[in-house]
Amino acid sequence: MNIKRIKISVIIFLLAAVAVVHHLPIHGFLGTHILHRDLFFFPIVLAGLWFGLRTALVTAVAASIVYAHFFYHNISSGRISMAVVVLQVAGFNLMALLTGWMVDRQRRQEQERDFLNDTFGKYVSRTVRDEILGGRVTLSGELKEVTVLFADLRDFTRLVETTPPREVVTIINTYFKAMAEAINAHHGLVIQFIGDEIEAVFGAPVALENHQQYAVDAALDMRTRLSQVNLNLANQGFPTLRHGIGIHTGKVVAANIGSDHRLSYALVGETVNIASRIQSLNKDFDTDILISAAVRKGLDRSVAMQSLPPATVKGVGEPLQLFSIVAQPFVCVE
């Protein structure tokens, strides 16, 4: 017998036991006010604590019927007034409402925390969490201008083929942890890990001013943290890593997407596809951070970059103007 059935059995047993005591011929204050009134609160409170509002109300109704039935004859004989019975029945149901409501509220908060963990992963910022829990952000779908960042490890397939599985997991988890921390530190949100790739967004689900600048700053931070990761990996005898980052700004549909059994926060639109393809172009230009002209236009301070020849991207009609972020003082090189 599982725990739920045991709890239900306990509630039913208590109701039955109190009903029996309720009908015993006990006279005076003890019988009328203590045994016939206060004992009913035990199964009601337990039902609320264990199962929430609905079960608490059902238990309170059952207790009310038993209580009112017993006092029917007492009312007729004038020993107790109808007002006393009505007030006591109201007390049973009020207790059920209060207990059940508090338990249901606590459970909703726990479900919301689980939802955030499942949907946004471990690297959701406190700001994003508070906005969603506060009901100030919709997850049902909205068109937003955001900056999307993709990061992809280079030559990782060969690394997987030549490295024991346990070491591969250690390496990629070390990398993901450092990169996600960099993204979160600059108000970004990791949407998902796809194999050896990271998808992140700046400006959703919570609106963010200057999201282009935050995305570029995150990419620079990721570059720095990758150096630290490689130093740690080298000290452990693991091979070092290289990655490419692509950043693009545009409109996306941001929403919870999936089935009845599994939902995840996702971005849909051409902007996402272009950001992913810009990331891939790092291989062609032998660079590690590429941004589009739309990202450059939104920057609020100078960042060292190199203008590159227009690149043709699959699915985009006109060639894209791209810029490589270089490790130089903040001067734009045209």
The string of DSSP codes covering 219-282 is: HHHHHHHHHHHHHHHHHTTPPP--EEEEEEEEEEEEEEEE-SS-EEEEEESHHHHHHHHHHHTH
Residue 329 reports pLDDT greater than 50: no
Q: Which residue's structure tokens are 């089935």?
A: 259
H or E element that contains 132: helix 126-133
| 131 contacts 206 by C-beta, under 8 angstroms | yes
CA 145 vs CA 192, 277, 292, 306, 319: distances in Å: 19, 19, 15, 25, 21
Nearest residue to 322 (alpha-carbon basis) of 230, 246, 225: 246
pLDDT band at 258 (very low <50, low <70, confident <90, very high): confident
| 199 contacts 205 by C-beta, under 8 angstroms | no
Angle at 137 between CA 203 and CA 142, to 5 degrees: 65
Q: What is the pLDDT of residue 140?
A: 76
Residue 142 reports pLDDT greater than 60: yes
Q: What is the pLDDT of residue 237?
A: 87
Q: What is the pLDDT of residue 37?
A: 66
H or E element that contains 328: none
Q: What is the pLDDT of residue 186?
A: 94
The residue among 59 and 81 whose pLDDT is bigger is 59
Burial tier of 120 (Cβ tally within 10 Å: 0-12, 13-18, 19+): buried
Residue 29 reports pLDDT greater than 60: no
Residue 228 reports pLDDT greater than 90: yes
Which fold, 122-333? Alpha-Beta Plaits (3.30.70)
> DSSP H helical segments within 27-125, as ranges?
28-29, 41-51, 53-70, 72-77, 82-120
Compute CA 138 distance to the chain's CA centroid, rounded to the nearest angstrom: 13
Domain span(s) for CATH 3.30.70.1230 in the chain: 122-333
Q: Cα-atom radius of gyration of the chain, to the nearest Å? A: 31
In whole angstroms, give the CA distance from residue 187 to residue 135. 19
Helix (H, G, I), strand (E, B) or coil at 111: helix
Residue 313 reports pLDDT greater than 70: yes
